[in-house]
């Protein structure tokens, strides 16, 4: 486990999946979900797809490949490229195992910095070879404690976006996107949290207007999350049926429509990285003390 420290707190990053396992503010309060029975992860990286594709199979140039939900980056060991007291860079490159599921040459890096306010995360995808475009999505799936303070009511927590979010949302059927949009549950810029919101799985804002939000407990404890414009989809999720976690997920692209059938390059939301090119996306999480 890589332990990073700065004025904004402490983060612990695992070499398995390059996944953050802990994010504590300057007062030592833990903000990340600690991988309980309801969900065994903390904050996985979603790559080379976000969500699922039908039959867990992609098609590339007429060939099919097995690729399960959220891809494989979260389940592999990464190389540590650099680490110091407050920052770390980890790298994942294609190999025979990944090419059997995703037939492309890539280099994915995750760079973490704990600065004076919190944790900055930057992903970079590089096209390492071939003369056709590299089709990718990438996302972050951090889970936060819900409630943020022991004893607080979950339905007194709110997510307040930086801008009104009136656009219709998308819902999922077995983690694939349903064809018909639904009215936004966001009231102006405020999403009042309740386990019932997630009875039919995630809330997918595929027309998100904001580039930031605050997740707040009634005590005033919370966090500030901001993301750059490369992230074009935002997902809010908790385990259907109720769980003490809330996921706030900035993503580049999302799950496939339930009826999608075609080449991966044509999947809605996919990004095409040209030979020799790069895709870069960054976001940050800043703890808020009561």
Q: Residue 131: what pLDDT?
A: 87
The domain tally of the chain equals: 1
Mean of pLDDT values over 271-283: 97
DSSP line for 114-162: E-SSSEEEEEEEEE-S-SS-EEE-EEE--EEESSSSTT--GGG-EEEES
The CATH number of the domain holding residue 48 is 2.70.98.10
Pairing type for strands 190-192 and 245-252 reads unpaired
What are the pLDDT digits (tens) for 82-119? Answer: 999 999 999 999 999 999 999 999 999 999 999 999 99
Its pTM surpasses 0.85: yes
Cis before residue 93, ω within 30 degrees of 0?
no
Rounded to an integer, what distance in angstroms lies between the CA atom of residue 240 and that of residue 201?
A: 6
Residue-number span of the structural domain to which 9 is assigned: 2-288
Burial zone of 52 (CB within 10 Å; 0-12 exposed, 13-18 middle, 19+ buried) = buried
Mean of pLDDT values over 199-205: 95
Q: Residue 226: what pLDDT?
A: 98
State the chain's mean pLDDT as an integer: 97
Q: Place 241 in a pLDDT band, splitting at 50, 70 and 90.
A: confident
Q: Residue 120: what pLDDT?
A: 98
């Amino acid at each position: 486990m890589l332990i990073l420290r700065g004025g904004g707190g402490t983060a612990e990053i695992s070499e398995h999946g390059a996944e953050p396992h802990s994010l504590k503010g300057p007062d030592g309060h833990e903000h990340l979900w600690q991988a309980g029975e309801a969900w065994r992860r903390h904050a996985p990286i979603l790559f080379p797809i976000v969500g699922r594709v039908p039959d867990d199979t992609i098609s590339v140039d007429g060939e099919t490949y097995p690729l399960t939900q959220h891809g494989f980056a979260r389940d592999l060991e990464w190389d540590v490229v650099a680490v110091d007291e407050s920052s770390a860079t980890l790298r994942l490159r294609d190999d025979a195992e990944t090419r059997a599921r995703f037939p492309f040459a890539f280099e994915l890096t995750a760079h973490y910095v704990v600065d004076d306010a919190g944790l900055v995360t930057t992903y970079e995808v590089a096209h390492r070879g071939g003369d056709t475009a590299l089709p990718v999505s990438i996302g972050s799936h951090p889970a936060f404690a819900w409630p943020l303070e022991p004893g607080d009511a979950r339905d007194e927590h709110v997510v307040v976006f930086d801008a009104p979010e009136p656009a219709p949302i998308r819902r999922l059927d077995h983690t694939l996107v349903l064809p018909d949009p639904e009215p936004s549950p966001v009231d102006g810029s405020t999403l009042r949290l309740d386990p019932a919101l997630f009875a039919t799985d995630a809330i997918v804002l595929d027309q998100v207007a904001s580039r930031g939000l605050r997740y707040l407990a009634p005590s005033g404890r919370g966090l500030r999350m901001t993301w750059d414009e490369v992230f074009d989809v935002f997902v809010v999720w908790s385990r259907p049926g109720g769980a003490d976690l809330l996921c706030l997920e900035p993503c580049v692209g999302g799950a496939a429509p339930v009826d999608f059938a075609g080449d991966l390059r044509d999947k809605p939301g996919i990004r095409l990285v040209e030979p020799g090119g790069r895709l870069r996306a960054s976001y940050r999480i800043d703890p808020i003390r009561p």
